[in-house]
Amino acid sequence: MKFTFAHNNLNVLNLEKSLNFYKRALGLTEIRRKEASDGSFVLVFLGDGETDHALELTWLRDWEKPYDLGDNEFHLAFVVDDYEAAHSLHAEMGCICYENPGMGIYFIEDPDGYWLEIVPKR
């Protein structure tokens, strides 16, 4: 028996704002979408164009308050080929929330408060 990664899910409050953030900050683009027939939810799967792994953004029509992300340190990590250019872009966007120069990494925060780790290609 073998298991492989398929996707990760993040619930979002404002789908368009999140789609714009992930496109600008990480270059992720929509690869497929599923909308409930009653309009109660929308699932948008984003891809990086390189791997099969996807990020699923879930928007729920009746959800109106920010999601409680708890105290766990859940995050997704992205490897980037031009770390300095990425850092400059994210600094310009104002989304860098934590830096660890000793480890050579930093984190950005999406519109819903999820942290995304940026790691240089090594």
User: Residues with catalytic annotation?
Assistant: 117
The bridge status of strand 29-35 relative to strand 41-47 is antiparallel
| Contact (Cβ atoms closer than 8 angstroms) between residue 117 and residue 98 | no
Q: SS3 of 22, please?
A: helix
**Spatial contact of 118 and 106, defined as CB atoms under 8 Å apart:** yes
Question: How far is C-alpha 20 from the chain's CA centre?
Answer: 11
